[in-house]
Amino acid sequence: MSAGQIDTALLRAAQREFVEKILPGLTGENRYTGAMLKRALDVLLAQATSETAPDAVPQAAGFGAPGALAAALRADRTAPSPALLSALRGFVEAKLRISNPKFLEETRNGPEGARS
């Protein structure tokens, strides 16, 4: 394993043992902290195993890196094209697949999700 690489097998094992052996025994404020730790491990594992880096989505669509795109949008305040909206949606969905896939799913399926 080279520097900077994440051992996903170790991360997955740590996550499973935390969820199965530690989390059920936590109470009160520790339970809340434990739930956040579980969420943090979920995010880290999703980051480590994600096939698409969110930042690559607008770049692949020809709009550049998110930072450059943000600066361009600040400079040029014209109405967005459908292609830009689509690229931004792809960017956000890629972030949510890592940070909160449940929210993404609920938004797609919810009664008001798509038009909140």
Partner 1 sequence: MATDLAPRFVALGPWLQGALGARSMAIARMEKLSGGAIQENWLIELVVEGGPRAGAQAWVLRTDAPSTISTSLGRPEEFAILRVVHAAGVTAPEPILLCEDAGVIGRPFYLMARAGGSAQGRKLVRDPGLASFGPALAERLGAELAKLHRVRPPVADLAFLPVPAGHPALTRIARYRADLDALPEGHPVLELALNWLEANAPPPNGVVLCHTDYRTGNYMVENGALTAILDWEFTSWSDPDEDIGWLCARCWRFGNDALKVGGIAGLDPFLKGYEAASGRQVDRARLPYWQVMAELRWAVIALQQGERCRSGTEVTQELALTGLMAAEMELNILNLIEGAGA
Residues engaged in binding partner 1 (CB under 8 A) = 33, 36-37, 39-40, 43, 58, 63, 66-71, 73-74, 77, 79-80, 84-85, 88-89, 91-93, 95-96, 99-100, 103-104, 106-107, 110-116
Q: How far is the CB of 34 from partner 1 (least distance, A)?
A: 11
Question: Quick one: which of 78, 55, 79, 81 has its CA closest to 68?
Answer: 55
Q: How far is the CB of 15 from partner 1 (least distance, A)?
A: 14
Nearer to partner 1, 10 or 83 (CB): 83
Nearer to partner 1, 15 or 107 (CB): 107
Alpha-carbon gap, residue 70 to 66, rounded angstroms:
6
Nearer to partner 1, 52 or 100 (CB): 100
Nearer to partner 1, 1 or 114 (CB): 114
